[in-house]
Structures are given as structure tokens and as C-alpha cells.
Structure 1
Amino acid sequence: MTALDVRQEHGGRTSVAAARPRRVRSPYSYWFYLPAAVVYGALFLAPTFASFYFSLTRWTIFEHEFIGLDNFVQFFQEPALIKGFVNTLIYAVVTSGLKIVLGLLLAVLLTSQIVARGYLRSVVFFPVLVSTIGVGLTFTVLMHPDEGLINKSLALVGIDGPAWLTDPSYALLSVALVDVWKGVGLATLIYIAGIVSIPGEYFEAARVDGAGRLAVFRAIVLPLARPATVTVIILSLIGGLRSFDLVWAMTRGGPGFTSDVIASVIYKQYQAGFYGLSTAGNVVLFLVVTAIVIPLYGFLNRKEVDQ
């Protein structure tokens, strides 16, 4: 029945019920969701609620004692915590910003007509596949102030390289740069997917109008790759806020507390046997990531809809 038939049948007025498309009923029973729900509940929901409870206790493997918010009070009185919070925010902003900029530029390059494009894509993505601990140990050797390959290479051109991982001024940023080297391949891959999904008619119309490469990038690629940008921002920001393994492999939070992040502070509390205190730190980290990422995700998606 066409829209005209509907209007004629109802005296010239369109019936909302008749015009509304019928909802297609899924051929699958809701019971098909049960296995996934069980796995999700067992591996995520149950540990999450258990962590919230045990953060309010003083516990060991065999017993626990409810102490209320004492763990949180003590955790926020730790002298390394404020430094860890600041370092975490710096680390997350630096790594996220560089991954966004470098990932977008590499994606534009690797979607253009260049020689060995497929091979270069593989080279850029390869560090993502390498073990984070392996990357950390490798760069620890490369960044050695005296015997490291990086400083030896700089010395050949007359540059006195710094103590990358032992100088408090460079330690955190050195680890952040290694994180960018390892993770920029994923950001590039997401941007490549976003760019190749842009209809070719836009680029053809721009060429007909005589637009240059910069104009095409600014007027077509940048706005239409916005969903990819949102994805890269969220993923890299979550990874930066939760970062631990690379920091621990390269500096263990040192020298002193200068490169400590929240996760490494939590781990040090766990090593010292303060299990309830470290559990409270995990809850704090969970709440910090949630408080930053969820509003940011909503803001970015709202801006995308408005445009």
C-alpha cells in the first residue's frame, strides 16, 4: 500500500499506525544472549562489585575486616598519589595527542598513491603486535645514557644526548614517546579505515573545482574522518590513563616518584602487602577513567550530531 492509498483510505489523513514501518521480529530467542551475559557477569560484573566491597576492607587471602572508607582516606594521604595523578594526566594527554596527529598524517600518506603502500602499512602497524614488556626492555637498552644506540647516534652529529630514563626531567616523556611509537599504528589503521570509507565523489568534485591537497584535507578528510578521530581519542585516552606495563618495564616509576602513574602507585602498595589499600586504588582509577571518558565520549558524539 502506498502513502497515497493510506491517505485515501483514511479520508485524506495519513494514519500514523499504518504508515509506521513494522518492527522486524528477531528470529533468535532471547536465550541466545544468556551465554554472553553469563561470561560478562562472571568476568566483569562480579569482579567489579567484589573490588568495590574489598576496597572497604582490610583483607588477606584468608580473611577480611570491614573498615569503611579508611583505605580511601589513607590512599589519598599517600605522598606519591598527587604526583601519580599529575603524571597520569600528562602521560595520557601527551600520548593521545601525538597518536591523533601522527596517526592522521600517516593515514593520509598511506592512503595516497605512493610506492609500496601496502608494505609501509605493515611496517607502521608492526609495533602494535610486539609485546609491551619486550618494547620496554628494548628501549631501556637503546636509551642508556652512555651505551645506548640513541645517544651514540646523536653523538655522531655532535649532540650530547640526555639521560632519557634516569633524568627526572625526561623520564616520563621518554616513556610516553615509546608508547606513541608502539601505539600509533593502531591509530593509523583506524584513520585509514575512516578515510577509505569517504565516498570518492567528494574527492572527484574537489579536483574538478581545483582544490589543492591542503584544501581537500581541511574540507573533506578532516570533517568526514571525525568518527575515526573520536575512536582514536577515546581508545588512546583510556590506554594512557590505565598505562602501567610500559612505565614499569622502563623506569618502575623512577627516578624517585618522577615517572609514577596511578597504576604503578597501586602496584607498589600491593607489593608492600597493603591489599585493601591497593584495591581502593583500583576503584579510584576506575572512577577516574569513567569520570573522564564517559562525559568526553558524550561531548564528542554530541558535537558530531550537531555538525
Structure 2
Amino acid sequence: MNVKRYALAATVVAVVAGGGVAAVGIANADTTPTPSNPYIVAPPGASLSSGDATAIQVAGRTFSGTAVPANATGAVVKLSSVNPSSSGVLTVYTTGTRPGSPTVSYRRGQNVTGTATVPLDSRGRLSVYSSARTKFTLQLQSYTTPTVTPPAPTCTATISTIAPSTKTLTQVGGSIRAASPAGATDFGSVTLPAGTYDARVIGGFTGFNNTDTWLPSGVFLTGTMTVVKGAEINSSFTNNVTAGGVMIPKSDSATLTQDPTLAISTFLILDTETEVHIKLFAYASNSGTAGSGQVKANVQSAQFRKVC
């Protein structure tokens, strides 16, 4: 097989099948759609003798002012025979390999066009082979470049906090899962992006200062602290974490010492951006008992550290 090497012509006209004129246009990088005016990459009137092949540089060349990237790896081309002298085939293939299946089969004097997708060689070239003498045109419909994988986003181990505070609970007794004000007292919230968080919360209760006798004999109060996904405590949420069962002593004092009695350390797994609350509540050991005792509670620290 004889090999010819054509330099690329940066020309705006070329012979095409049927004897017309094709304009040089723009191919789209990283895509394969066919532009309306493809590049002409073979010189006008290029010809091959029987058994000849020609190597054509595609990558890193400029056609009519528009450059094909030097890292182009493949091409979609349209190959046409022009007035062949006898029957034969035209084949476009990767330079340095053997011609494969024909791109175009033609007869004497027959202008035939075929399309092929061709990998470029390491130098960005493709080749055209003809089994009989013919002129030909080669149009570059589009090219491909390597897919660039963006770097994986880095994780920042951020820490979000809820400010310490002391409050009188909104209610003693009632349902733990009811919406405010019937349920737990909200000690604040923070909105966290999706991810895994190491949650550490310290808080507690100091007793209730109430001189009335609404709490029957033998009925005691228990306090519970909960990390809640969303505004309400809902059993359908995962990662609701409770630390509780702390007995709340009764006191007649108007000022109570704030000693931590509860601590939570857990992992929260958040699929989406989520508002996370800290809630404390107290309820009577007899579920039918409710009242308005002045139960004081505190959150001394609430920290949510994103785990990378």
C-alpha cells in the first residue's frame, strides 16, 4: 500500500460529490452533532491512485480561522468519491493501523458519500485509503476531546452550634410528640447541609419551683432531651436521639442551680438540608396527670460537627 501525506489546506472551497462547492464551517468541541457547514480537511482535488493511502492531520490544525484542539481524540467524517476511474472502495481509518471496513463503495464515475467515526492516532491523524484511482473529499463533521472529570468536592469539617440558654418549660405533661406549645420546649435550631454529623449536646433540669400541690402523691416528673430532625418530634424520622429518664426534683426555690444532667452524643445522617432542633420536655409518671409546674431546663452546649 502506497502512502501519501497531504498537508491540510485552510481553504474555504472544496470539490464535493456532484461537483458543487462546500464552505468551511465550525465543528463543536466535546460534541458529535453535525454542523451545517463542516470543515473541509482534505485539499481540493485530492486524489489517490489504486492502493494508495494518505495521512491527514486533524488535531491541532486551524481551518478557516477555527482551531481543532491539539488533544482531539476522534472525528466524525464524511468521505466522498469524486469521478473514480473504476469500481473500488474508500476507507477512512486511524493512521498507523490497517484499513478496516470500507467507508464508501463506488463504481466508475460514481460520486458516493459515506460517514464514519474514526479514532485519531497519538499525533491526531487519520488516513484515507482507496482501492482504485479516484478523487475524494473529506469533511470533518465534528471531533471529540477527552472527558475531563472534575475533582471530587472536598469536605470541610464545619462546626455548627446552638447558643446556650435556660428556659421554663412551656408545659409539664402532655404528649411528647405533639406540636408546640403542647409538647417539648424548643431550645433552638440550626440548619445543616446534607452529610453526616457528630452531635454532642449537654443540658439538664434543675427541678420545678411550685408551691401548689397539683402533683399527686407518688407521681413524679421525668425530663428528656431530644435532638430532632424538623420542628416536631416524629417517629417517622430517623436519627431522632433521646437522652432522658432524669428525675426532676421539686423545689420551692425561685432560683435554681443549673447542673447538667443529660448528655447526647450521636451521629446524624442527613440526606438533604435539614433544620435540627434541641428540645427538652417533662412529663408525669402518671400519663393522665398534667399541670403547669415551673420546670426549669437548660442547654449548656449543642455542637454539630460535620464528619468528612
- TM-score relative to the length of structure 1: 0.18
Please identify which structure carries the higher strand content: 2
Higher RCO (C-alpha under 8 Å, 6+ residues apart)? 1
Q: Which has the higher helix share?
A: 1
User: Based on CA coordinates, which of the two structures has the bigger radius of gyration?
Assistant: 2
